[in-house]
Structure 1
Amino acid sequence: MLEKLIGKNLVLLENVDIGFSDGLNIATGETGAGKSLILNTLVCFPLKKFPNELIHDRNKDTKITIKIRLDNKNINDLLAKEGILKTDENAIEITRDINSKSISKFYINGIKVKPQLISILFDSYFSFFVQGAQSLLMDKKFQLQLLDKYLRLDKLCTSFKDSFGQFYSIKKTYFDLVKQKEQIDEKRDLFEFQLSELDKIKITSLEQELELIESQKKEKEIRENRDLIEEIVQTIDDRGLSFAIDLNRKISRTTLGNDEIQKLTDDLVFNMKELSYEFSKLSSESETINQDQGLNEDDLFILRELKRKYQLSTNELVEKKQEIKNLLSGQESLNDRISSCYIDYKDAEKKSSQIALKLSAERKKGSIKLVKLIKKGLKDLGIPNSTWIIGTREKEMDYSGIDDVEFMFSANPDFSPEPLKSVASGGELSRIMLVLALEISKVFESKIILFDEPDVGLGGAVAEKLGEKISALSQSCQVLCISHLPQVASFANNHFLIIKRLEGRKTSISIKKLSREGRVLEIARMLSGKNIENEALILADKMIK
């Protein structure tokens, strides 16, 4: 049960504190008084983004607190896991703080919680039927959701969606593999030709390519200076070395030399020999410079041509070559994967189809009962001779099952039923939506049901019948209802009057809980307008249940 709504900095409701009771809570007021703001605050409370239009001053913080009394074991266990202990006879306080940057934080009994927990609580305890819902009624997807909700097929629907999700994933994998195989088969000749070209590449990395370029550069320099190198070697061998040897011999015969001089002449002879050796080696190096790698200038030319042709770098060419090899060599492995995946795909399809058939059978069986209830409900609300069919046709399996469901309606018995979007007027859609809301609320486990002006377009005995139905519903759950008809308001267990006030340039709303005398006055106003007549007061007193 919703016990209290407290709001700070809400539009027209800067500081609001409303206490609700069991049974039927009804709010009334003049047109434009802002009756729906209370309901909208509750509807938007769990949303990811709270609407700015419901905030009075966006530069200030906004705070909304609701107090709920719980009696759901699953929810109690969930709260206990979050470390939230209930107080005051199973009551909890849920708070939403919204700062000036529109950032929200949620709390339960002062403990910060995730928004997902708030959504679970609202889904478990609240059911909203607001203005504009009748337009959704023309959408076949929404119609199917209503049917499943009425038949309480949530668990079966969830089971099917999980199964179908697995099937869809396996199916996608299977067809991706088949497509991959088809692409390989279609391009096999191309792949084999490309591989024959790429196999000509002996250079296997960018580093090796750079080393070869440097080697080619060095080889070219040696080649260009070969004659000079040979001349230097010949000069050293013919004159330089013999001079150094002769000088060393002459110095060694004299008594003037010392150890240091002898060492220098010995080094001179040795260095001349080394110099000759190094230049001789340099002369022949161009012939063996790439023998260790087995690479030559032709290899570099092939690489450059293929890089230009494929518009790829050296490393990318090597990777492409390996990819093509893997594709061609993995053909047998791919065939095995396709065969295995096909078995999984068919098994998953069979499992999903079985659940879909069970779901379809439940929908068809349950729709017969719902049709009868809708026809009876429409009769009570002033459409006595309607024809109603819930049409089902088989479709390709998707996340909703195999049923293409559509509500078919005719207000007159001599006309065949047609889809709602084709034949139902606005007033008829409102009544149909109301009947569905009432019937769904009877079976749905929500403890708090909110109606926003369900009596639009109704009047007289039909409006009174609606009041009876909502009152009967409130015997098993708490109902909050915005109404503009005295026939409905007269059934209230708890009656609120919404008054809009203008003080200077400031507009605000006040909410007043009415005593019996106050209820008589308000219902009399609803009957006769601002100028309340004595007859209206007498009738209002009689109408109050």
Structure 2
Amino acid sequence: MLAQLFINNIAVIERASIDLEKGFTVLTGETGAGKSIIIDAIHAVLGERTSKELVRTGTQSASVSALFTGLDEDILRLLDQLSIPREEDGSLLVQRDIRQGGRSSCKLNGAPATVSMLKQVGPRLVTIHGQHESYELLSPEVHMVYLDSFAGLESLLAEYQAAYHTLRETQRKLEALQTDEGEKARLSDLLHYQIDEIQSANVRVGEREELEAQREVIRNSEKIAGTLELLRGLLSGDEDSEGLLTGVEQASVEAERVASYLPELEEAAQKLREAGYLLEDVDAMLRGVGVDFDPALQEAIEERLDLLYKLGLKYGSSEEKILEFLEDCRSRLHQIEFSDEERERLEAQYEEEKHKAISLAKELSRRRQAASAQFIRQVREELAFLNMPGIQFETEIQRVPLYAMGCDKLQFLVSANKGEPPKPMSKIASGGELSRIMLAIKTVLSGKDKVQTLIFDEVDTGISGAAANKVGKKLKQVSQNRQVLCITHLAQIAALADHHLLIEKHVEGERTFTQVQELDFEGRKREVARIIGGDQVTDLQLEMAEEMLKKG
């Protein structure tokens, strides 16, 4: 469950540390006090997208931390898979820092994490139901997800979707082979030409670089030859002067002669000897190399480079890409030349995969049909409790060709008035009815998952009176084995809570601040009275509030 929420510089909340308990907790406050900001903060630690607008004006960064306790083994195993360290008490601390510009950083139990990791962990910890989730009910695609969740079909659906994906891939390959004979002949001729052109060129990886280096040597052969001649002359000498070799040799002899008198010159003599050996090696290297200008070789190199350039324009900018293109051509030609055999193989494979996908889709459909009646019955029971006894709630399942969700199209049908046939929800339900239908569905589904914290953001929209009281009782019932947090504007719901948090906004100087405080009985009484009658609380409203709290 969510044990603690710490918020720093999120919108109008400068700093808030909120301790949360098991059971049913309500959050109330005047419109604009900052209740939705708390939901935004929880969304942030669950990995939802954030923006710079969340960062409090005048600050550079904001942060949210959430401490979860009592984690089950499934979540702990997921943390192990993500290489997140376990805490001895089995808790999880989720931290998210948000900076101006929308950038953020995340941590799980102090270890660096990504938003993607938060999104994997978050749905296992908290389910948030807000007004926009109610409007999801207008989309039939969501209806299928709810029924599959109720029936526990997630693994079967995943198996079907893998089979369906494989089937579509085989179908795509078959369609690629459906080419008329004339087009096949034209494509075959083109591929033969391209293969022959590349093969006859005998392209070799790295060849262009080698040829360009040879071309540079030939282009500079005169300069290179002159420099070699100069170096040889400096080392060996000419008619007018002795070279370095002779000079160093004489210096070495003289140094050795004098070293017999001055031992300190022995090292100098040795180094001169070594210098002579090195110069002899260099002289041998210089005499072993030479550059001859060969016009025929230069022309051959230019022609080869020109050929590689033209092949590059057609088939790829490098020798590697040209050879990759060659292999692709060979593969495509093989497919054409053996297309009949390939088609037969793919057709047999397609039929086998189709049979598997249809079998899985039918099993999905059968189990959906079987679960539908129980799902309808349970949702109707919840709706009756929520003061909607006359509403008709049905599921319409139609058989359709295979697609990503199987062979069924499903939607919920409702009729709020007796005698009127059920119709799609988008044509019938009001905002208040949608909220109660969603609460009924969430209640039915709550026993099918292991999420310990349910958050309802203004689920009371569009209801009042007895219906509000029933909604409150239902939330109270759900909280018996779940932690339930509810943002509400209704006194009937607030009075039924186990814990009550008040969100208050106040102004200091030129800045607005929001505070969160837990109310005791007297504080709850005054807040419930305010919800009943507005800012001017009367003794009668206080008496009504006290009576509601005692009954709750």
TM-score under structure 1 normalisation? 0.73
Distance 1:455 1:205, change over 3 A: same
Tell me the equivalent position of 1:418. Answer: 423
Contact 1:191–1:324 (CA under 8 A) maintained in structure 2: no
Q: How far did 1:191 drift?
A: 5.5
User: Superposition pairs for residues 329-344 of structure 1, below 5 Å?
Assistant: 331-344=336-349
Equivalent position of 2:475 in the other structure = 470
Q: How many residues align?
A: 440
Question: Equivalent residue of 1:396, what SS?
Answer: strand
**Equivalent residue number for residue 40 of structure 1:** 40
**Do the aligned partners of residues 485 and 191 (structure 1) sit closer, same or farther apart at CA in structure 2, a change above 3 Å counting?**
closer
Equivalent residue number for residue 374 of structure 1: 379
Structure-2 residue corresponding to 1:441: 446
Q: 2:436 aligns with which of 431, 434, 438?
A: 431
Displacement of 1:30 in angstroms is 1.4
Q: Which amino acid aligns with 1:538?
A: E
Cα distance per residue 1:156-215 (max 9 Å; x no partner):
222222222222222222322x22xx24x13255468879999999995499xxxxxxxx
- State whether structure 2 residue 97 is matched by structure 1 residue 85: no
Match of 1:443, SS state, is coil
Q: CA deviation at 1:363?
A: 1.3
Displacement of 1:136: 1.6
Task: State the alpha-carbon separation in 2 of the partners of residues 202 and 382 from structure 1.
Answer: 79
Is the 8 Å Cα contact of residues 8 and 64 (structure 1) preserved in structure 2? yes
Deviation at 1:64, TM superposition (A): 1.1
Q: Which residue of 2 aligns with 1:15?
A: 15
Q: What letter corresponds to residue 14 of structure 1 in structure 2?
A: E
Report the Cα offset of residue 433 of structure 1.
1.8
Distance 2:384 2:372 in 1: 18
- Name the structure 2 match of 1:279: none
Tell me, in whole angstroms, the C-alpha distance in 1 between the residues paired with 2:488 and 2:408: 37
Structure 2 residue 349 is the aligned partner of structure 1 residue 348 = no
Give the 5 Å matches for 1:385-396: 385-396=390-401
C-alpha separation in 1, matches of 2:453 and 2:468: 22
Instruction: Please say if residues 9 and 60 of structure 1, whose CA atoms lie closer than 8 Å, have aligned partners that are also in contact.
Output: no
Residue of structure 1 equivalent to 2:126: 126
8 Å contact 1:44–1:51 — kept in the other structure? no
One-letter amino acid matched to 1:524: A
**Which residue in 2 is equivalent to 1:2?**
2
Tell me which residue corresponds to 2:182: 186
CA distance 1:503–1:312, shift in 2 (3 Å):
closer
Counterpart code for 1:86: E
Match of 1:361 in 2: 366
Structure 2 residue 476 is matched with structure 1 residue 500: no
Paired amino acid for 1:377:
E
> CA, structure 1 residues 187+99, in 2 after alignment: closer, same or farther (shift >3 Å)?
same
Q: Deviations over 1:389-440 (max 9, x none)?
A: 1000011111111110011111112111111112222332222222222222
Q: Distance in 1 between matches of 2:327 and 2:12?
A: 70
Aligned twin of 1:534: 539
Q: Which protein is bigger by CA-based radius of gyration? A: 1
Q: Gaps (5+ residues) in structure 1?
A: 208-288, 290-302
Indicate conservation of the 8 Å contact 1:487/1:543, yes or no: yes
| 1:449-490 deviation digits (Å, cap 9, x = unpaired) | 000011111111111111110001000010111011111011
CA distance in 2, matches of 1:442, 1:200: 68
Residue matched to 1:53: 53
Equivalents in 1 of 2:331, 2:162: separation in Å? 35
Equivalent pairs: percent with the same residue? Answer: 25
Q: Tell me the amino acid that sits aligned with residue 76 of structure 1.
A: L
One-letter identity of the residue aligned with 2:36 = S
SS at match of 2:163: helix
Closer/same/farther in 2, CA of residues 187 and 5 from structure 1, 3 Å limit: same
Task: Name the residue aligned to 1:295.
Answer: none
Q: For 1:325 and 1:3, locate their aligned partners in 2 and report how far apart those are by CA, in whole Å.
A: 64
Per the alignment, do residues 333 and 373 of structure 1 end up closer, same or farther by CA in structure 2, a change over 3 Å counting? Answer: same
Kindly indicate whether the alpha-carbon contact (under 8 Å) linking 1:52 and 1:58 is maintained by their aligned counterparts in 2: no
Shift of 1:328: 6.7
1:522 matches 2:527:
yes
Q: Which digits, 9 at most, give the CA deviation of each residue in 1:47-77, with x for residues without a partner?
A: 3531333221485122211000033112223
| Aligned-partner Cα distance in 2 for 1:92–1:538 | 43
Residues 338 and 475 (structure 1 numbering): CA distance in 2 closer, same or farther, change over 3 Å?
same
State the alpha-carbon separation in 2 of the partners of residues 74 and 123 from structure 1: 12
Larger mean CA deviation between 68-77 and 392-401 belongs to 68-77
1:65-144 equivalence runs, <5 A: 65-81=65-81, 82-87=83-88, 89-144=89-144
**Residue 447 of structure 2 aligns to a residue in which SS?**
helix
Letter in 1 for 2:161: K
Q: Distance in 2 between matches of 1:77 and 1:343?
A: 41
Q: Distance in 1 between matches of 2:31 and 2:143?
A: 31
**Residue 114 of structure 1, CA deviation:** 3.2
Ranges in structure 2 where 5+ consecutive residues have no aligned partner:
204-295, 297-306
- Write the distance in 1 (CA, Å) between the matches of 2:474 and 2:327: 74
The answer to whether the 8 Å contact 1:390/1:405 transfers is yes
Describe the SS at the equivalent of 2:64.
strand
CA distance in structure 1 between the partners assigned to 2:194 and 2:80 by the alignment? 66
Tell me the alpha carbon deviations over residues 125-152 of structure 1, each in whole angstroms, 9 at most, x when there is no partner. 2111012222221111112112222323
